[in-house]
Amino acid sequence: MNRRQFIYAAASSALLPLVGCSSKPDGHKSIVIVGGGFGGSAVAKYLKKYNPALQVTLIEPQKTHITCPGSNWFLAGLTTMESLTFTYEGLKKRGVVVVHQSVEDIDDIGQRVRLSDGQSLDYDKLIVSPGIDFRWGDIDGITQANSDKIPHAWQAGAQTLLLKKQIETMKQGGTFVMIAPPNPYRCPPGPYERVGMVAHYFKQHNPKAKIVILDPKDKFSKQALFMEAWQDLYGDMIEWVGVADGGKVSKIDVASMTVFSEMGEIKADVINAIPAQKAGDLAFKAGLTNASGFCPIVAGTFESTLKKNIHVMGDASIAGTMPKSAHSAVSHAKMTAAAIVNSLEGKGVLSPAHVNTCYSLVSDKYGISIAGVYNVQGEKIDEIKGAGGVSPHDADAAFREMEATYARGWHSSITQDVWGA
Ligand SMILES: Cc1cc2nc3c(=O)[nH]c(=O)nc-3n(C[C@H](O)[C@H](O)[C@H](O)COP(=O)(O)OP(=O)(O)OC[C@H]3O[C@@H](n4cnc5c(N)ncnc54)[C@H](O)[C@@H]3O)c2cc1C
């Protein structure tokens, strides 16, 4: 470690007020990253890997990151909260300065961000990966204030713990209602993995319980595989009601736990209401979003089409046909890091290819998966037809069990890649 790297390593753990003064004390380029989830943490790591001389500062309010991947498994008692929780020590060891603040606003003309403690930080390039926020109020009764009674658990942490407690204390033979979100939302198979995990728990502890999914969509990711597995593993415990059968919810009365949809009224014991989604709030404040509520980007570099020198990645970005997933966010991160390093070194733009894989558990021994490969086609990121696929329909129990093992392996390896030392 040379003297300059030592100073930055020290600053990352002890001398944080330093960041408010000058971001470029030794003339090296300053890259500031907003958000220490999958996208932001991965881009910090890979920027340092591709060019160790860069000053890389990650701004994230939380001291640890709890991954959404695996949080459905936690609901079924198949993993612990500790195994989903990661610190920023690995990134600090790589020389990334980690500042536990929120970014309040972005001055894209002055190339400066203002933090919640009032300090400001200059940048040469800014990367924004704030994840999602919710469109509260799209459905009457689904509000932020009500989320402590009808949790979404779509950002892992306190909400996940709350939903788990509600599942565990639901009355025998009670009804669990999930309100699935409309497209686009983070983790397309996530709601359907979740009901399988809840059913796995109920099968052992509340076998007469019923699960109803009210869905504003007419189809969903890995649908045939999920529905076949639900039937095989849980009989008629799970009922999916798509939009054609009245699955669109108009209102929830939280006091009486009644859900009103086009199919009629359901009296629920637990309601898991997952609201419609949009880019994280900061993206709106900074003028990075378009009418869709997400952030348009240049396909090859993830630079915002609306603001120069700001790149947006992960769930907040409009990455063509790539799903909003942790795997996608990490793929965006690696390509964004390469694009920024190349641009600072005066090299040309890469022609990136991306991969996405989403594993889902349907029980502890039953896994299914979907994979896609993407590249830049014209102005857009699009899937390379025939390069991806889903698990086979006619697989035997040993194959499903092997995929369940791969699912756990995927979580270990991606989190080690992003937050490992
Ligand atoms: C139940 C569930 C299961 C899932 N399972 C999978 C799976 O199996 N595989 C998969 O690939 N994906 C899965 N996902 C999706 C995955 O969690 C997201 O796609 C991924 O986290 C996106 O990464 P991101 O960096 O865009 O956002 P995040 O990981 O959410 O990170 C955003 C970060 O930004 C920070 N932030 C926000 N605003 C500010 C601000 N103003 N200043 C500073 N920091 C800020 C937040 O604190 C947060 O840490 C799942 C999601 C859910 C809900």
Whether residues 60 and 174 share a domain: the answer is: no
So what's the pLDDT on residue 350? Answer: 81
Ligand 1 within 6 A of CB of 70? no
Whether residues 162 and 245 share a domain: the answer is: yes
Domain-embedded: residue 375: no
Q: Which of 144, 142, 106 is nearest to 126 (CA)?
A: 106
pLDDT in tens, 163-212: 999 999 999 999 999 999 999 999 999 999 999 999 999 999 999 999 99
Question: What is d(CA 400, CA 395) in angstroms, rounded to the nearest whole number?
Answer: 7
Question: What is d(CA 42, CA 257) in angstroms, rounded to the nearest whole number?
Answer: 41
Angle at 61 between CA 331 and CA 338, to 5 degrees: 25
To test the ligand 1 pocket, which listed residue (34, 59, 64, 68) has its Cβ within 8 A of the most ligand atoms? Answer: 68
pLDDT in tens, 25-37: 556 899 999 999 9
Domain-embedded: residue 387: no
Domain-embedded: residue 364: no
Contact status, residue 310 vs residue 298, Cβ threshold 8 Å: no
Whether the model pTM is above 0.85: yes
Q: Which of 67, 72, 119, 70 is nearest to 97 (CA)?
A: 119
- Beta-carbon neighbour count of residue 357 at 10 Å? 18
Whether residues 231 and 262 share a domain: the answer is: yes
Ligand 1 within 6 A of CB of 72? yes
Going from the Cα of 43 to the center of ligand 1, the distance in angstroms, rounded, reads 14
Amino acid identity at 304: S
- Beta-carbon neighbour count of residue 381 at 10 Å? 26
* CATH assignment of the domain containing 269: 3.50.50.60
Ligand 1 within 6 A of CB of 103? yes
Going from the Cα of 382 to the center of ligand 1, the distance in angstroms, rounded, reads 22
pLDDT in tens, 83-127: 999 999 999 999 999 999 999 999 999 999 999 999 999 999 999
Domain-embedded: residue 403: no
Going from the Cα of 36 to the center of ligand 1, the distance in angstroms, rounded, reads 9
